[in-house]
Structure 1
Amino acid sequence: MTLWPDFQTATTMPTTESAKLGRKLSLVIMTSVLVVFAVIFGLLGSFVLWTADEVDEDALDRQSRRVAYFVRGQLDAIPYDQQSITIWDDMLVALRDNDERWLHINVGKWTFDYFGHDESYILAGDQPVYASVGGEDTDPDTYERRRDQTLGLVEQLRGLTSAGYVDVPPFTSDFVLIDGKPAIISVSPIVSDTGNIQQQAGREPLLVSVVHLDSDYELRLIQRYQLEAGHFTSRPGGTALGTLPVTNRAGRIVTFYEWQPYRPGETLMQRTTPALAGAFIIILIVVIALLAVLWRSSSALESKSAEAERQASIDLLTGLPNRLNFDRQFEHRLSVLALRDPPLALMMLDLDRFKQVNDTLGHHAGDELIRAVGERLAGILGPTDVLARLGGDEFAILHICHAGSVEVSALAQRIVDAIARPFRVQGTDAFVGVSIGIVITGAGILDSRELSRKADIALYEAKSGGRNRAAIYEQSMDELVQGRHVIEAELREALRAPGQLWVAFQPLCGRDDGQIIGAEALLRWTHPTLGVVAPLQFIAIAESTGLIEQLGEFVLRRAAQFGARWPHRTIAVNISPAQLRNPTFPERVFAILDETGMEPSDLEMEITEGILLDDESTVARAIHKFRQAGISIALDDFGTGYSSLNYLKRYPVDRIKIDRSFVSQLTNADGTEAIIQAMVTLAHALGIEVTAEGVETEVQYRILAAKGCNTFQGYLFSPPLTVGDMTALLTGAQTEVPEVA
């Protein structure tokens, strides 16, 4: 008897036995698959639970950072509230005259009702001269109960103001305990907003504000910043609550802010557990059905996926790594960056004036130019650098900085110089520039998105600073960006809510008799909380965000309404580049003139030479239409650009305005008089009138009049006026003009 059949017997085994073996093998495979699937699903469930916990922890961390940002930011926010009344000549006059009613309305009641400041004190020297509690005036000696808590802040502020400051005066603020309860004390100097009132540095009157961190303050904080609902407490609660220790500037805990944290992971688990159980059953059936199909197709899919991934990582136009590839390499370099390794620089590049080349020569020329830029950049970089095209006219570079910021700055300058050289594209020379934003990082900083954001901020700084340059990220840039976002949001609201934006008119006076021949319309913004926002703070933001056209039309309409009431006087309006580039702008201007009844010959449009440089054809057509309608054209800020003389011959200009920077330097022995004389002589030779702006002294006026300036504008004659004040001045129609020696 043999244990094993011979080969012939084995090959003639009945079919039923083979089928049984096949079924057993299938059962083994299926059982194995099901066991593996069960293990995987168990691990997946554990992973989901762990992920939910991690999500909750991350959410709590984000909430904590958000709460910390806004709570601790109150040390700057409350002094910012104070500035609405502390930088004010009227405040100093009221203190000098002991005008108690004025102080009650503008200090005690205003700060309590509008800002929620519970207590306000004014110190002259070290003595209280005014006190208000809960919006009601009280005996100034009430301050004595707060002297101990404020003494250090007052002395610190005295030291800061004694050392001098530029523009915005310093302040001191801190978290304190008053009667065992938390509060914020802020001390700000009371100074002149015009500089006309002389004050001894370090001896200015002081405004002391006390804000109690009570339930009213908590409610204001929650409503104002959409903060997580919570409360201040001296003793933190259980671990289920979010808790932020609030420390003073010395690092001591003054109070705690507690809130009920939002837990998205826990909520998600409660909602998805039933669905996951049903999904397990469905997926189990699908897995069994697709197991064979997936096995056959996996090999083909794997090969296709590898090829698709290769193509997806390369920019087809330049052959450089694309954004996806670059992001992967960036993440990898950050992950392997050791503590003693040299820092890594991320450089974001954006071509300047590429759109003009693309629009003028066509998209094929634009593609050729992009390829040429990539080749030129590759020729500058070293073997360890990573160069990628992110899309459009944007490139990115990873560079190891062995010598830190000095080295990367030198590399950036070489790139700027190289790109500035002409490119030969389709038989013609094309000129572009490049703006570069740089951020430098070391080991331990692994957030590539945050680094990219900072590089973009630096790139924005490079572009706003004049383009064709590089800028390295600094923390102050981030703060400026946040400030721009605030201004942009408030400006959009101001355009929707009437009353904040208004137009002032500054008279334009003749040379000899002081006759007011017209006025310039100037946009002004009075914000309900920010106060007076200077044009320098919001005009550039309006231009970069596309709001400038709405603002320009607002000013033009107000100017036309005013000009219609005072015919035969020139009303000048500043025109932005965005308005002139809009093909429909002339029709909008003519519609406003028809609507208001203003004569076109009374309107003067002030443009800058930079507008003419940006887009000659579009601007030329618009200027031609305006000239045909009788509208005058003035070239503003004349002499500050490099192309002024060329454009005086090319474009029909009725007037040039000598920039105030020249006028302010007239008394300096630096050749300014000769420059102004050359401007006037050139303009008169071309039949163009000359206006001097920014005239503030009689000496300046006499020199400018002697040089032949036709008209004048400045504080010597009148500051910008409201419509009512300008109307009253026009009724007299003449201002006093100094005699010309």
Structure 2
Amino acid sequence: MSAGAHRSPLTYQVTLTVLVLAALALLMVVGFGSYAMVQADRASLERQKIFFANGLQDQIAAVQREQESVTVWDDSVSNAKANNQTWMVENLSVWMYSYYGHNRVYVLDEANRPIHAMREGQVVAPAAYGEDEPALLPTIEKLRRLIAQPAKENASGGPVKLAAEDLVSLDGRPAILSVMPLVPSSDRVFQAPGSEYLHVSAEFIDDAVVGKIAEKYLLDGAHLLPLSRPVGSASIPLVDSRGVILGYVGWDQERPGLTLVRKAGPALILAVLVAASVLAFLLRRLRRASSALQISQSQAQYLAFHDTLTGLPNRALFEDRLRRVLLTANHDGVKVALLYLDIDRFKHVNDTLGHPAGDELVRQTASRLQQTIREVDTVARLGGDEFAIILIDVRDVRDAEDMSERLQQKFQLPFSLMDDQVFVSASIGIALSTGPETDADDLLRRADIALYEAKRNGRGRYQVFAGDMDDLLLRKRKVESELRNALAGGGGIKLAYQPIFAADGRTILGAEALVRWTHEVHGALPTQQFIAIAEERGMIGELGKWALLEACRFAAGTRLPWVAVNPCRDRAGAGAPATRDHRKRVARKQRHDTHGPGKATQVGDQCGAR
């Protein structure tokens, strides 16, 4: 009785506290929910505005790309200066309307005088340009100033694209304006600086353009709003470079916050009622829940530092013990050895016998490792099929080698997996502490490098870390980085072409493309050296793609029947780009670069096939 009386005030205090906290929590949920709803709707609106603004910029860029397809062309320069009206109709004006939907096109000479004009797919007199000139002239003059400036280079070292764009109002309608000079695409046509003709193209921003942008960003009810019509919050202005508003684009605002409240409101109310009805029940079980929580915390603490499959220490506990062991060893002047063990071809066991067999192999491996090491040592599972063993108070590397040999002997015995006797081996990397300067991360890195060398030298063996291993790995990584930079355009890598002769010794049947790399510091590097590193670091596919494309570009400018590219077939393996899809992509690339689809397709297919 006294115990019950003793517990009643506590129960009352807990109940009152919980009820007060529950009421405060409910008020906070309602308040924060309302605030979150407003903020979500506001953030959604701002995001929709950004989407539409980005979509408009994408549309402007699309107009420029479409315009660039005819402005960078030898024929455009020649025919415009020859005042070939028929050619300009078919390629510079009506074609831009019928193929891309550009509403107005003007061709201006070097003095900004119109020589050709098109409106809505119909050729009109050049004098019609005068009606639009006040709106177009600022952008045209801006481009003339850009042309008059010294040539600049972009970040990739190429020339800056000459173009000027803006939003303008034509006949009271907002439009995208883009102006580009007609420039030759090759050295066959010479054009004196300052004599460039201009291609002026405008596309009206109508409901079709707005709908295209809205469809891309999933905006409902998008439409163009005139200046005279009131606009809501779900709209953005169409502003030219001078800050003049030409119109508005509006859409149906998406309100995720309000929608969520409407859908979840009844469920939340029901949840509150249910929570209130079970609150007393929860309070009665408070003591039992507290005990269960304490047990759960103990289990969670154990699981946080142990592997659930094997019961061994996990990486977190392993790293903590390794740091502690190193501190003690440095203080006492003794050495610590770290063994990094990996089961060879573990994936093969998983693939052939299944993951349950793989898990059982990991469990049996953990058991054998625990049976082999001393009680003072630590074995941990770092993940997958990787284990680490900390050997304390070792005299020299021979102690670690003796332990590795005993571990290797354990792997000579078969493993019983799914009623099968399976033989597997393990590779071990060994690293020893060298003094106070050795930290846990450095020791683990050295053991990992030694493990890598053990696997590279044939698996089923152990390897002690040596200083030159670190240097070799760093050199390989440096070569890999420099090779990636060279493939990305950093220079130095190229193809050399060796002719293939017929039996008469005079007729050239084709050529073989050979990869050569002239390093900016070390000069010409042996091909086998950097090809081997490319294969080892997984770059051979990228190198093969680069070689195939470069060879196709070379072949497109020659009369050779074919060019053989070794990396495409012999070196790149299954990851090589010498596939039908890649040849098609190369062919399309060559068609764009050479303006001649027939030969480019043939060269691309031949190069890919060889």
CA-CA distance at 1:187 after TM superposition: 0.6
Counterpart contact for 1:236–1:258, Cα < 8 Å: no
Are positions 1:153 and 2:100 aligned together?
no
SS class of match (1:46): helix
Cα 1:138–1:583, aligned 2, differ >3 Å: closer, same or farther?
closer
Shift of 1:508: 7.7
- Whether 1:432 aligns to 2:424 is no
Distance in 1 between residues matched to 2:36 and 2:64, nearest whole Å: 42
- Which whole-Å CA distance do the structure 1 matches of 2:284 and 2:96 have between them? 73
- State the alpha-carbon separation in 2 of the partners of residues 317 and 28 from structure 1: 45
Residues 119-146 of structure 1: CA deviation (Å, up to 9, x unaligned):
0111112111111111221111111111
* 2:206 alignment partner in structure 1: 214
Report the CA distance shift for 1:201/1:212 in structure 2 as closer, same or farther (over 3 A): same
Shift of 1:258: 1.9
C-alpha contact (below 8 Å) 1:555/1:573 kept by paired residues: no
Following TM superposition, by how much is the alpha carbon of 1:517 offset from its aligned partner in structure 2, in angstroms?
A: 2.3
How far 1:105 sits from its partner (Å)? 2.4
One of 64, 69, 77 as aligned partner of 1:84: 69
Which residue among 263, 266, 274 is the counterpart of 1:282? 274
CA offset at residue 248 of structure 1?
Answer: 2.4
- 1:582-731 equivalences under 5 Å are 582=573, 722-723=598-599
Measured at CA, do residues 94 and 223 of structure 1 come closer, stay the same or move farther in structure 2, by a change above 3 Å? farther
Secondary structure of the corresponding residue to residue 137 of structure 2: helix
Quick check: 2:167–2:240 contact (8 Å CA) kept in 1?
Answer: yes
- CA 1:555 to 1:181, structure 2 compared with 1: closer, same or farther past 3 Å? closer
Measure how far apart 1:158 and its partner are.
1.5
Range moving further from structure 2, 198-207 or 109-118: 109-118
Equivalent residue of 2:117, what SS? strand
What is the CA-CA distance between 1:106 and the residue it aligns to?
Answer: 1.9
Return the letter of the residue paired with 1:292: R
User: SS at 2:143's partner residue?
Assistant: helix
CA gap 1:52/1:516 in 2 versus in 1, 3 angstroms: same
Q: Who is 1:420 aligned against?
A: none
- Correspondences of 1:115-126 after superposition (within 5 Å): 115-125=100-110, 126=112
Assess if the C-alpha contact under 8 Å between 2:227 and 2:246 holds in 1: no
Are residue 39 (structure 1) and residue 59 (structure 2) matched? Answer: no
| Separation of aligned partners in 2, 1:545 and 1:427 | 28
Give RMSD over aligned pairs: 5.5
Q: 1:180 aligns with which of 151, 165, 172?
A: 172
> Shift of the alpha carbon at 1:97?
4.0
CA distance 1:226–1:83, shift in 2 (3 Å): farther
TM-score (norm 2): 0.54
Shift of 1:83: 0.5
State the partner residue of 1:127: 113
Offset at residue 176 of structure 1 (A): 1.8
Alignment of 1:167-316 (within 5 A): 167=159, 169-223=161-215, 229-235=221-227, 241-284=233-276, 285=278, 287-288=282-283, 290-299=285-294
SS, match of residue 115 in structure 2: strand
Match of 2:38 in 1: 53
2:541 and 2:575 in contact (8 A); partners too: no
SS of 1:429's equivalent? helix
Residue 218 of structure 1, CA deviation: 1.5
SS of the residue aligned with 1:188? strand
Give the Å deviation of 1:21.
7.8
Separation in 1, partners of 2:512, 2:269: 74
Q: Deviations over 1:71-112 (max 9, x none)?
A: 234443322221111001121233244333332222223322
Map of 1:553-564 to 2, 5 A cutoff?
none
Q: Are 1:153 and 1:173, in contact at CA under 8 Å, matched by a contact in 2? A: yes
Cα distance change of structure 1 residues 319 and 221 upon mapping to structure 2, 3 Å threshold = same
Give the secondary structure class of the aligned counterpart of 2:274. helix
1:707 is aligned to: none
Residues 191 and 204 in structure 1, CA contact (< 8 A), matched pair in contact too: yes
Partner of residue 440, structure 1:
none
Query: Post-superposition shift, 1:547?
Result: 8.8
Find the residue that maps to 1:177 and give its secondary structure: strand
Alpha-carbon spacing, 1:176–1:193, altered in 2? closer, same or farther (3 Å)? same
Confirm whether residue 518 of structure 1 aligns to residue 558 of structure 2: no
Whether contact under 8 Å (1:164, 1:201) holds in the other structure is no
Alignment-derived partner of residue 522 in structure 2: none
Q: Displacement, 1:232? A: 3.3
Unaligned residue ranges in structure 2 (runs of 5+): 152-157, 308-313, 322-425, 450-462, 491-497, 514-537, 553-558, 581-593, 604-610
Local SS of the residue matching 2:509: strand
Matched, 1:465 2:460: no
Instruction: Measure, in 2, the Cα distance between the counterparts of 1:719 and 1:119.
Output: 26
Please tell me whether the aligned partners of residues 545 and 568 of structure 2 are also in contact (alpha carbons under 8 angstroms). no
Q: Which residue, 81, 92, 99 being the options, matches 2:84?
A: 99
Aligned letter for 1:55? A
Mapping of residues 458-537 of structure 1, within 5 Å: 464-466=484-486, 515-518=507-510
CA distance in 1, matches of 2:228, 2:316: 55
- State how far apart, in whole Å, the 2-side matches of 1:98 and 1:509 are: 49
Question: CA offsets per residue over residues 148-195 of structure 1, 9 Å max, x none?
Answer: 112122222112122243545411111122233322211100111113
Return the alpha-carbon distance in structure 2 between the equivalents of residues 466 and 551 of structure 1.
Answer: 11
Matches of 2:292 and 2:206 in 1, distance apart? 67
Deviations 1:608-627 (A, max 9, x none): xxxxxxxxxxxxxxxxxxxx
CA contact (8 A) 2:544 2:568 kept: no
Please say if residues 113 and 135 of structure 1, whose CA atoms lie closer than 8 Å, have aligned partners that are also in contact.
Answer: yes
| CA distance in structure 2 between the aligned counterparts of 1:576 and 1:102, rounded to whole angstroms | 45
Residue identity in the other structure for 1:580 = R
Moved more, 246-255 or 261-270: 246-255
* Alignment of structure 1 residues 373-412 onto 2, 5 Å: none
Among 557, 574, 599, the residue aligned to 2:565: 574
- 2:49 is matched with 64
| Partner secondary structure for residue 722 of structure 1 | helix
TM-score (ref. length: structure 1): 0.45
Q: Residue 210 of structure 2 contacts residue 249 of structure 2 at CA under 8 Å; is this kept in 1?
A: no
Amino acid at match of 2:115: V
Residue of 76, 95, 103 corresponding to 1:110: 95
- For 2:482 and 2:191, how far apart are their aligned partners in 1? 39
CA contact (8 A) 1:116 1:217 kept: no
- Give 3-state SS (helix, strand or coil) of 1:288's partner: helix
Aligned amino acid, residue 485 of structure 2? G
Structure 1: distance between partners of 2:57 and 2:160: 21
- In the alignment, what sits opposite 2:525? none
Q: 1:161·1:169 contact (CA, 8 Å) conserved in 2?
A: no
Q: 1:546 to 1:428 in 2, by over 3 A?
A: closer
- Residue 272 of structure 1: how far off its partner (Å): 1.2
Q: CA deviation at 1:576?
A: 3.8
Equivalents in 2 of 1:461, 1:62: separation in Å? 38
Cα displacement (A) at 1:147: 1.2
Displacement of 1:240: 5.8
Structure 2: how far apart are the matches of 1:434 and 1:294?
59
Deviation at 1:571, TM superposition (A): 3.3
Matches of 2:258 and 2:51 in 1, distance apart? 21
Counterpart CA distance in 2 for 1:507 and 1:91 is 38
Kept in 2, the 8 Å contact 1:188–1:208? The answer is yes
Letter in 2 for 1:129: I
CA distance in 2, matches of 1:278, 1:146: 65
Counterpart AA for 2:195:
R
Question: What SS class does the counterpart of residue 562 from structure 2 fall into?
Answer: strand
